[in-house]
Copies of this chain bind each other. A is one copy, B any other.
Amino acid sequence: MEDEPIIREVLVEYMEIAGYSVFVATDGEEAMRLVDHENLDLAILDIMVPKYNGFEVLNYIRLSHNKHIGVLMLSALDDVNSQVHAFNDTADDYIIKPVSPIILLKRMETLLRRVKSQISWQEGLKIDHEGYRALYNGIPLKLTLSEFLLLQVLYQSPHRVFSREQLILNIFNEDYIGNDRIIDAHIKNLRKKLPFNCIKTIVGVGYQFQKEEAYEVKK
């Protein structure tokens, strides 16, 4: 996306000569449609565009099926706040216009190098954030609200270890007063309902969502 047609033409041509397939959207809505219907590796988002702005598209991407794609924000705004906003929303780069086409291309390729080497660890388990549902191969699991919230937090940051305290903060309001061990109880119930054992205990630390099984100890 790029709000000035002529510059956009140049950039697109540049990228196509370099061997990339390029899709162009003229507003945020169209961009979202591309996210849904094309298998993108990278998105270049102009912030100031009609319908939905770049930040909104960015957030849409990160909640989408293709959330791992590289996102490069493009803007005439040189202020710190806008940049911090972009990075906080997990943009991968922020480029201030006007930009030399060659530098844009180099930054694209640099990001692609990192993006391409990622693997998607997700398999059958999906979280429907809006619907408060966890789906396994499309079939919803019957979770209580606490169980769902617990799974959601763990699932969103796979392999990150959350202490019981952190989980309590994430799941309940921060004014919760009660025993740490409430987490144990919910974990127990959640584990029973999950089709595979993906919640691992880190003794003395907390719990994490994990995909791979660990090596067995050699004898």
Identify which of residues 179-219 in chain A touch chain B, using a CB-to-CB cut-off of 8 Å.
192-193, 202-205, 208, 210, 212, 214-218
Q: Which residues of B contact A142 (CB under 8 A)?
A: 214-217
Q: Which residues of B contact A93 (CB under 8 A)?
A: 93, 110
- Residues 82-124 of A, flagged 1 when their CB comes within 8 A of B and 0 if not, give 0110011011110000001011001101110111011111000
Q: How far is the CB of A135 from chain B (nearest CB, A)?
A: 9
Q: Do A131 and B208 form a contact, CB below 8 Å, given A216-B142, A218-B193? A: yes
Q: Which residues of B contact A160 (CB under 8 A)?
A: 130-131
Q: How far is the CB of A219 from chain B (nearest CB, A)?
A: 8
A80 x B103 contact (CB < 8 A): yes
B110 x A87 contact (CB < 8 A): yes
What residue of chain B has the Cβ atom nearest to residue A70's Cβ?
B114
What residue of chain B has the Cβ atom nearest to residue A142's Cβ?
B214
Q: Which residues of B contact A130 (CB under 8 A)?
A: 159-161
Q: Which residues of B contact A24 (CB under 8 A)?
A: none
A145 CB within 8 Å of chain B:
yes
B217 x A192 contact (CB < 8 A): yes
A131 x B118 contact (CB < 8 A): no
Q: Which residues of B contact A88 (CB under 8 A)?
A: 106
Q: How far is the CB of A79 from chain B (nearest CB, A)?
A: 10
Give complex CA distance A121, B100 in Å: 34
B107 x A87 contact (CB < 8 A): yes
Q: Do A84 and B102 form a contact, CB below 8 Å, given A121-B119, A133-B159, A159-B131? A: yes
Contact of A106 among B87, B114, B193, B208 (CB under 8 A): B87
B139 x A214 contact (CB < 8 A): yes
Q: Which residues of B contact A110 (CB under 8 A)?
A: 87, 90-93
A128 CB within 8 Å of chain B:
yes
What are 13 sample pairs from A and B whose C-beta atoms fall under 8 A apart?
Answer: A80-B102, A80-B103, A87-B110, A93-B110, A119-B120, A119-B121, A120-B121, A131-B160, A140-B212, A142-B217, A145-B202, A145-B204, A145-B205
